[in-house]
Amino acid sequence: MKQYETLRLEEHPGAVLLATINRPEVANAFNTQAARDLLELLRSLGTSEARCLALTGAGDRAFCAGADLKERNAFSDEQWHAQHELFERMFRAVLDCPLPMIAAVNGAAYAGGLELMLLCDFAYASRSARFALTETALGIMPGGGGTQTLARAAGERRAKELILSARPFSAEEALAWGVVNKLCEPQALLGETLAAARRIGENAPLSVRQAKKAIHAGLQVDLRAGMLLELEAYNTLVGTEDRREGIRAFNEKRKPRFTGR
Protein backbone atom coordinates (compact mmCIF):
# COMPACT_ATOMS: atom_id res chain seq x y z
CA MET A 1 0.00 0.00 0.00
CA LYS A 2 1.39 3.37 -1.02
CA GLN A 3 2.29 5.79 1.75
CA TYR A 4 1.97 9.54 1.40
CA GLU A 5 3.88 12.47 2.83
CA THR A 6 0.85 14.00 4.55
CA LEU A 7 -1.54 11.05 4.87
CA ARG A 8 -1.28 7.92 7.02
CA LEU A 9 -3.12 4.90 5.64
CA GLU A 10 -4.25 1.82 7.58
CA GLU A 11 -6.27 -1.19 6.47
CA HIS A 12 -8.99 -2.44 8.83
CA PRO A 13 -11.37 -5.44 8.82
CA GLY A 14 -14.27 -5.30 6.39
CA ALA A 15 -12.10 -3.90 3.58
CA VAL A 16 -12.08 -0.55 5.37
CA LEU A 17 -9.33 1.96 4.61
CA LEU A 18 -8.56 4.59 7.25
CA ALA A 19 -6.87 7.76 5.99
CA THR A 20 -5.48 10.16 8.59
CA ILE A 21 -4.47 13.70 7.67
CA ASN A 22 -1.07 13.70 9.32
CA ARG A 23 -0.06 17.32 9.94
CA PRO A 24 -0.89 17.72 13.65
CA GLU A 25 1.70 20.49 14.10
CA VAL A 26 -0.56 22.80 12.02
CA ALA A 27 -3.94 21.41 13.17
CA ASN A 28 -3.97 19.14 10.09
CA ALA A 29 -4.38 22.13 7.78
CA PHE A 30 -3.90 21.08 4.17
CA ASN A 31 -1.10 22.63 2.15
CA THR A 32 -0.38 22.04 -1.51
CA GLN A 33 1.22 18.64 -0.85
CA ALA A 34 -1.66 17.46 1.33
CA ALA A 35 -4.13 18.39 -1.42
CA ARG A 36 -2.04 16.47 -3.95
CA ASP A 37 -1.86 13.45 -1.65
CA LEU A 38 -5.58 13.33 -0.96
CA LEU A 39 -6.40 13.83 -4.63
CA GLU A 40 -4.08 10.98 -5.64
CA LEU A 41 -5.52 8.68 -2.98
CA LEU A 42 -9.11 9.37 -4.01
CA ARG A 43 -8.35 8.81 -7.68
CA SER A 44 -6.80 5.43 -6.85
CA LEU A 45 -9.90 4.10 -5.09
CA GLY A 46 -11.76 3.14 -8.25
CA THR A 47 -9.45 0.14 -8.66
CA SER A 48 -8.85 -0.45 -4.96
CA GLU A 49 -10.05 -3.48 -3.01
CA ALA A 50 -11.25 -1.16 -0.24
CA ARG A 51 -15.01 -0.98 0.23
CA CYS A 52 -15.30 1.99 2.58
CA LEU A 53 -13.05 4.95 3.40
CA ALA A 54 -12.87 6.59 6.83
CA LEU A 55 -11.14 9.98 7.13
CA THR A 56 -9.83 11.60 10.29
CA GLY A 57 -7.09 13.90 11.55
CA ALA A 58 -3.97 13.11 13.55
CA GLY A 59 -3.98 13.90 17.25
CA ASP A 60 -6.92 15.02 19.36
CA ARG A 61 -6.92 18.76 18.63
CA ALA A 62 -8.16 19.03 15.07
CA PHE A 63 -9.80 17.12 12.26
CA CYS A 64 -8.63 19.74 9.76
CA ALA A 65 -8.24 23.49 10.14
CA GLY A 66 -8.65 24.14 6.41
CA ALA A 67 -6.03 25.57 4.10
CA ASP A 68 -2.57 26.26 5.52
CA LEU A 69 -2.59 30.08 5.63
CA LYS A 70 1.10 30.26 6.52
CA GLU A 71 1.95 28.67 3.19
CA ARG A 72 -0.40 31.10 1.46
CA ASN A 73 0.95 34.18 3.21
CA ALA A 74 3.38 35.22 0.46
CA PHE A 75 1.33 34.02 -2.52
CA SER A 76 0.68 36.29 -5.46
CA ASP A 77 -2.85 36.34 -6.87
CA GLU A 78 -1.69 33.97 -9.61
CA GLN A 79 -0.21 31.52 -7.12
CA TRP A 80 -3.38 31.70 -5.03
CA HIS A 81 -5.54 30.85 -8.06
CA ALA A 82 -3.22 28.01 -9.11
CA GLN A 83 -3.30 26.43 -5.66
CA HIS A 84 -7.04 26.85 -5.33
CA GLU A 85 -7.56 25.07 -8.65
CA LEU A 86 -5.77 22.08 -7.10
CA PHE A 87 -7.98 22.37 -4.01
CA GLU A 88 -11.06 22.44 -6.27
CA ARG A 89 -9.99 19.18 -7.91
CA MET A 90 -9.43 17.64 -4.48
CA PHE A 91 -12.88 18.66 -3.24
CA ARG A 92 -14.54 17.36 -6.42
CA ALA A 93 -12.70 14.06 -5.96
CA VAL A 94 -14.24 13.74 -2.49
CA LEU A 95 -17.67 14.44 -3.96
CA ASP A 96 -17.06 11.88 -6.73
CA CYS A 97 -15.45 9.24 -4.52
CA PRO A 98 -16.90 5.86 -5.60
CA LEU A 99 -16.59 4.42 -2.10
CA PRO A 100 -18.70 5.47 0.87
CA MET A 101 -16.64 8.04 2.76
CA ILE A 102 -17.14 8.66 6.49
CA ALA A 103 -15.52 11.51 8.42
CA ALA A 104 -14.43 10.96 12.03
CA VAL A 105 -14.23 14.52 13.34
CA ASN A 106 -11.84 14.31 16.26
CA GLY A 107 -11.44 18.06 16.89
CA ALA A 108 -11.78 21.38 15.10
CA ALA A 109 -13.21 21.27 11.57
CA TYR A 110 -12.79 24.81 10.34
CA ALA A 111 -13.05 26.45 6.93
CA GLY A 112 -11.88 23.98 4.27
CA GLY A 113 -11.76 21.28 6.94
CA LEU A 114 -15.49 21.63 7.50
CA GLU A 115 -16.04 21.72 3.73
CA LEU A 116 -14.05 18.49 3.44
CA MET A 117 -16.22 16.87 6.12
CA LEU A 118 -19.46 18.09 4.50
CA LEU A 119 -18.48 16.48 1.20
CA CYS A 120 -18.13 13.08 2.89
CA ASP A 121 -21.20 10.85 2.84
CA PHE A 122 -21.73 11.30 6.57
CA ALA A 123 -19.80 12.12 9.73
CA TYR A 124 -19.41 11.09 13.34
CA ALA A 125 -17.90 13.63 15.71
CA SER A 126 -16.27 13.83 19.09
CA ARG A 127 -18.32 15.70 21.68
CA SER A 128 -15.37 18.10 21.92
CA ALA A 129 -15.36 18.90 18.18
CA ARG A 130 -15.96 22.44 16.97
CA PHE A 131 -17.02 23.66 13.57
CA ALA A 132 -16.94 26.89 11.57
CA LEU A 133 -16.78 28.35 8.10
CA THR A 134 -14.57 31.33 8.94
CA GLU A 135 -13.77 32.63 5.45
CA THR A 136 -15.80 35.86 5.54
CA ALA A 137 -13.68 36.96 8.53
CA LEU A 138 -10.57 36.61 6.32
CA GLY A 139 -11.73 38.59 3.29
CA ILE A 140 -12.71 35.54 1.25
CA MET A 141 -15.67 33.12 1.27
CA PRO A 142 -16.10 29.35 1.22
CA GLY A 143 -14.68 27.98 -2.03
CA GLY A 144 -14.78 24.23 -1.42
CA GLY A 145 -18.51 23.78 -1.66
CA GLY A 146 -19.37 25.14 1.79
CA THR A 147 -22.13 27.50 0.68
CA GLN A 148 -23.81 24.55 -1.03
CA THR A 149 -23.17 21.63 1.32
CA LEU A 150 -23.91 23.43 4.59
CA ALA A 151 -27.16 24.79 3.15
CA ARG A 152 -28.15 21.29 2.06
CA ALA A 153 -27.32 19.81 5.47
CA ALA A 154 -28.60 22.54 7.81
CA GLY A 155 -30.96 24.59 5.63
CA GLU A 156 -30.57 27.89 3.83
CA ARG A 157 -31.30 30.22 6.72
CA ARG A 158 -28.98 28.43 9.17
CA ALA A 159 -26.20 28.31 6.56
CA LYS A 160 -26.53 32.05 5.92
CA GLU A 161 -26.32 32.76 9.64
CA LEU A 162 -23.19 30.64 10.12
CA ILE A 163 -21.34 31.61 6.94
CA LEU A 164 -22.06 35.34 6.95
CA SER A 165 -21.18 35.70 10.64
CA ALA A 166 -18.25 33.21 10.53
CA ARG A 167 -19.60 31.95 13.88
CA PRO A 168 -18.16 28.74 15.32
CA PHE A 169 -20.67 26.15 16.51
CA SER A 170 -20.54 23.19 18.85
CA ALA A 171 -20.79 19.46 18.30
CA GLU A 172 -24.24 19.49 19.92
CA GLU A 173 -25.40 22.16 17.48
CA ALA A 174 -23.87 20.24 14.56
CA LEU A 175 -25.88 17.16 15.55
CA ALA A 176 -29.12 19.10 16.04
CA TRP A 177 -28.74 20.80 12.64
CA GLY A 178 -27.94 17.62 10.71
CA VAL A 179 -24.31 18.50 10.04
CA VAL A 180 -23.08 15.30 11.73
CA ASN A 181 -24.89 12.01 12.28
CA LYS A 182 -23.68 11.04 15.74
CA LEU A 183 -21.65 12.30 18.69
CA CYS A 184 -19.16 10.01 20.42
CA GLU A 185 -16.95 10.23 23.44
CA PRO A 186 -13.48 11.23 22.23
CA GLN A 187 -11.89 7.88 23.05
CA ALA A 188 -14.71 5.97 21.29
CA LEU A 189 -14.96 8.07 18.11
CA LEU A 190 -12.58 6.15 15.87
CA GLY A 191 -13.84 2.76 16.99
CA GLU A 192 -17.46 3.68 16.33
CA THR A 193 -16.60 5.17 12.95
CA LEU A 194 -14.67 2.08 11.91
CA ALA A 195 -17.52 -0.13 13.10
CA ALA A 196 -19.93 1.79 10.86
CA ALA A 197 -17.49 1.53 7.98
CA ARG A 198 -17.12 -2.21 8.57
CA ARG A 199 -20.89 -2.71 8.45
CA ILE A 200 -20.93 -0.95 5.08
CA GLY A 201 -17.90 -2.90 3.84
CA GLU A 202 -19.59 -6.21 4.63
CA ASN A 203 -22.45 -5.45 2.24
CA ALA A 204 -22.35 -6.02 -1.51
CA PRO A 205 -19.90 -3.40 -2.84
CA LEU A 206 -21.65 -2.88 -6.17
CA SER A 207 -24.97 -2.43 -4.37
CA VAL A 208 -23.46 0.06 -1.95
CA ARG A 209 -21.89 2.11 -4.74
CA GLN A 210 -25.08 2.17 -6.81
CA ALA A 211 -27.20 3.10 -3.79
CA LYS A 212 -24.83 5.95 -2.92
CA LYS A 213 -24.93 7.16 -6.51
CA ALA A 214 -28.74 7.01 -6.64
CA ILE A 215 -29.18 8.96 -3.39
CA HIS A 216 -26.80 11.71 -4.42
CA ALA A 217 -27.99 12.07 -8.01
CA GLY A 218 -31.65 11.78 -7.05
CA LEU A 219 -31.47 14.71 -4.67
CA GLN A 220 -30.47 16.98 -7.57
CA VAL A 221 -33.73 16.34 -9.47
CA ASP A 222 -37.47 16.05 -8.77
CA LEU A 223 -38.93 12.92 -7.16
CA ARG A 224 -40.14 11.23 -10.35
CA ALA A 225 -36.80 11.73 -12.07
CA GLY A 226 -35.03 10.51 -8.93
CA MET A 227 -37.08 7.31 -8.93
CA LEU A 228 -36.08 6.70 -12.55
CA LEU A 229 -32.43 7.17 -11.59
CA GLU A 230 -32.96 4.66 -8.79
CA LEU A 231 -34.41 2.08 -11.19
CA GLU A 232 -31.52 2.57 -13.59
CA ALA A 233 -29.08 1.88 -10.76
CA TYR A 234 -31.17 -1.06 -9.52
CA ASN A 235 -31.24 -2.74 -12.93
CA THR A 236 -27.45 -2.70 -13.19
CA LEU A 237 -27.35 -5.09 -10.20
CA VAL A 238 -29.79 -7.75 -11.43
CA GLY A 239 -27.22 -9.56 -13.57
CA THR A 240 -24.41 -9.52 -11.02
CA GLU A 241 -22.92 -12.52 -9.25
CA ASP A 242 -23.30 -10.66 -5.93
CA ARG A 243 -27.08 -10.50 -6.45
CA ARG A 244 -27.16 -14.24 -7.06
CA GLU A 245 -24.90 -14.89 -4.07
CA GLY A 246 -27.05 -12.74 -1.80
CA ILE A 247 -30.19 -14.69 -2.67
CA ARG A 248 -28.39 -18.04 -2.35
CA ALA A 249 -27.00 -17.09 1.04
CA PHE A 250 -30.42 -15.98 2.28
CA ASN A 251 -32.01 -19.26 1.27
CA GLU A 252 -29.11 -21.30 2.64
CA LYS A 253 -29.23 -19.33 5.91
CA ARG A 254 -25.57 -18.29 5.78
CA LYS A 255 -23.59 -15.10 5.50
CA PRO A 256 -23.05 -14.04 1.87
CA ARG A 257 -19.57 -13.87 0.34
CA PHE A 258 -19.64 -10.81 -1.89
CA THR A 259 -16.88 -10.36 -4.47
CA GLY A 260 -17.89 -7.15 -6.24
CA ARG A 261 -18.81 -8.92 -9.47
| Exposure letters 229-238 (e unless 16+ CB within 10 A, then b) | bbeebeeebe
CA 56 – CA 190 distance, rounded (Å): 8
Which of the following is catalytic: 5, 49, 135, 192? 135
DSSP 24: G
CB under 8 Å to 133, separation ≥6 — which residues?
A: 110, 111, 114, 115, 142, 146, 150, 162, 163, 166
Query: Is 135 a residue of the active site?
Result: yes
Residues across the chain? 261
CA 190 – CA 18 distance, rounded (Å): 10
Which of the following is catalytic: 5, 25, 78, 115? 115
Query: Is 10 a residue of the active site?
Result: no
Name the β-bridge partners of 11.
Answer: 17
**Residues catalogued as catalytic:** 115, 135
